[in-house]
Amino acid sequence: MALFRKKAPELTLESLPREAYPAHIGFIMDGNGRWAKKRGLPRRMGHVSGAQTFRKIVKACEARGIQSATFYAFSTENWKRPQEEVDAIMDLLRDYLKESLKDFKGENIRTKFIGDRSALAPDIVALMEEAEAETAHKTGLTLNIALNYGGRHELVGAIRMLAEQVKDGTLLAEQIDEQRVSDTLDTVGQPDPDLIIRPSGEYRTSNFLLWQSAYAEYVFMDVLWPDFSAEHLDRAILEYARRHRRFGGV
Ligand code: FPP
């Protein structure tokens, strides 16, 4: 006699308990250039469309009660792109920051930036600081925008800072532990990402949150970032909820 095992009920977002949601989601916004090329448009237009998707997905994260979301907007390696493309991305950031500084009052989003600000234009840095100050008291989604960010660059900065403290006698080498390193990174005080989503069909981490992603679940999706929608986000959250996270245990 054949034995039929009862099928587990299909997991849906509606039936997903709050604790099964990722607290922190990272997004590698990839595929803007290919999206534009497919349409015979300049690469810049891919970023224009990608910036609109970014706005939509920030709102979708907020609506789903996600605690933190980190978006990879510009890496330490992206300076190698043609100047025109770098300028286009920086202009999109300017526009977003100016626009959101007006809208922030109605939103419960706390905006933060990670990455090295020293190479950014002073007017952008001023807008970033204003956005951080204006939203510091907000209690909803923490939105991290990674700008001139690279995981290795961030770690080198942290190592240098700790070495300086040891050199000037304010820290003992044996006091350096995982917590101390975490507290020296740009993401200090924030939970590590539980889920990292990379669209565009590439299977790489590209120097994104290297230390913080030690136990993150990756979901790679075959969609270009400008076409990424709230439905893709829901699919990734469900995929995450199906996985069994063991953190090195059994
Ligand atoms: C990667 O796609 C994307 C980037 C390097 C830039 C991402 C920037 C934005 C979405 C705009 C940022 C704006 C705001 C407001 C945060 P790619 O160009 O490498 O795509 P490709 O691999 O298809 O060439």
- Give the number of other CB atoms < 10 A from CB of residue 82: 10
pLDDT of residue 1: 47
Residue 215's pLDDT is what? 95
Q: Which helix (H) or strand (E) holds 202?
A: none
Helix/strand/coil for 142: strand
Please state at what angle helix 122-135 crosses helix 83-103, rounded to 10 degrees: 30
What are the tens digits of pLDDT across the range 149-179? Answer: 999 999 999 999 999 999 999 999 999 999 9
The CATH H-level superfamily of 21-150+193-242 is Decaprenyl diphosphate synthase-like (3.40.1180.10)
Which residue out of 38, 61, 84, 89 has the highest number of ligand 1 atoms within 8 Å of its CB and is therefore the one to mutate? Answer: 89
Domain extents in the chain: 21-150+193-242
Given phi > 0 = left and psi -120 to 50 = alpha, else beta, which region is 247? left
Cα separation, 164 vs 79, whole angstroms: 29
Ligand 1: residues with CB < 6 A are 29-34, 47, 50-51, 54, 71, 73, 78, 89, 92-93, 96, 145
Whole-number Å distance, alpha carbon 151 to ligand 1 midpoint, is 17
Q: Which helix (H) or strand (E) holds 14?
A: none
Cα 73 to averaged position of ligand 1 atoms, centre (Å): 6
> Pick from 33, 130, 59, 51: which is nearest to 96 by CA?
51
Q: How far apart are CA 25 and CA 198, in angstroms?
A: 11
The residue whose CB lies within 8 Å of the most ligand 1 atoms, and thus the one to mutate among 37, 47, 57, is 47
Q: Examine the residue annotation and report whether 78 is marked as an active-site residue of this protein.
A: yes
Distance CA 111, CA 91 (A): 18
H/E stretch holding 46: helix 43-63
Question: Do residues 28 and 219 make contact, with C-beta atoms less than 8 angstroms apart?
Answer: no
Told to judge if 30 belongs to the known catalytic residues of this protein, a careful annotator would answer yes
**Catalytic pick among 32, 78, 116, 148:** 78
Spans of the chain, pLDDT less than 50:
1
Expressed in angstroms and rounded, the spacing between residue 19 Cα and the centre of ligand 1 is 31
Nearest one of 55, 74, 56, 65 to 25, comparing CA atoms: 65
Distance 250 CA to ligand 1 centre (A): 38
